[in-house]
Amino acid sequence: MKKPMEATGDQLILATGGYDHTIRLWQAHTGNCIRTIQFHESSQVNALEFSPDKSMVAACGYQCVRMYDMDSNFNNPLIAFDGAQKNVTRLGFQEDFKWMFTAGEDCRVRIWDMDMSFGFSTPACSRVFDCQAPINAACLHPNQVEIAVGSQNGGVFLWDVKSENHDQLVPEVDASIQDITISPNGMYLAAVNNNGNCYIWTLTSSSNQKLSTLQAKQKIYAHKRYVLRCKFSPDSSLLVTTSGDGTARIWKTDDFQMWRELSIENYWIWDAEFSADSKYLFTASSDGIARLWKLETKNAERKYIGHTKAITALSFKDEIISE
């Protein structure tokens, strides 16, 4: 059987977006650009996310959130969300596509009901969480109930979407949280800041608890400069951090020691995402190139060339195909 990154056809799609105001869709296994979408005439792409069924790709930027049909060559957005204010920095989907969330510099996380029973009308905003500070990052817990949030004033929040309960802590005073992530096994939460530090907490929950509890585990001096993104691998064994120092560093979660360093000299690495088998990593960087790295060898196996300015966001979803 074919391995994940050797699949044929165009089912393995990489989406990239950046400062050239475009979204590009690529055949991940060939490097061919198969579609270019004009996102917004005056906004960069801050984040990208495929819908759970891969039928749509969502993008957010300055005062805009848009969704595009993956099965159409019609490049106008299928859905344009109302009420987006200031810079929308993150978005994501509940696993059954019942709702999606957005977060941004208006200090709010919004929950949008994705009920498509009446056609592709604009989703309604059903819940709002106000962090009282501009938000740089947000991610959904694997339990599909809690959202972790990172703010510019250094706050890390955990919000229960159903009960509205929330908790807050500040790991480092006067440091902006740039990104936040929860491991797929629900064991760890990681947050990175503009001082180059990465904080790890152990997440625990029980039937008696209304909200998961955070227990400080480790502080990693991850980079010498600004950290931009952090993400766990699908098997929860690895954590990647990317930085303005031109590196993506891979940390093993059994001891949180650095395992690999990928380098693009003189450029910022804005975003990264693992393949489903956790053996490959995609990166997006300020040289306008996305790359596919084989982690075992640290080699850049493929380059995706076409953007005219920095790539700031990417999304990739694949499925492991057995041998």
Instruction: Judge whether 182 and 141 are in contact, CB under 8 Å.
Output: yes
What pLDDT is recorded for position 226?
92
Can you tell me the distance from the alpha carbon of 95 to that of 105, in angstroms, rounded to the nearest whole number?
A: 25
Instruction: Judge whether 305 and 287 are in contact, CB under 8 Å.
Output: no
What pLDDT is recorded for position 66?
95
What pLDDT is recorded for position 52?
93
Can you tell me the distance from the alpha carbon of 96 to that of 114, in angstroms, rounded to the nearest whole number?
A: 10
Residue 224 per-residue DSSP state: S
234-247 per-position pLDDT tens digit: 999 999 999 999 99
92-126 per-position pLDDT tens digit: 999 999 999 999 999 999 999 987 644 556 788 99
What pLDDT is recorded for position 40?
85
**Dihedral of the CA atoms 115, 117, 122, 125 (nearest 10)?**
-30
Give percent above pLDDT 70 in the chain: 92
Angle 147-150-156 from CA coordinates, rounded to 5°? 80
What pLDDT is recorded for position 319?
63
Can you tell me the distance from the alpha carbon of 104 to that of 116, in angstroms, rounded to the nearest whole number?
A: 25
What pLDDT is recorded for position 321?
36
Low-confidence ranges of the chain (pLDDT < 50): 1-10, 117-118, 320-323
CA nearest to 210, candidates 169, 254, 158, 246: 158
**Position 114, amino acid:** M
CA distances (Å), origin 262, targets 178, 200, 243, 288, 312? 20, 21, 11, 17, 17
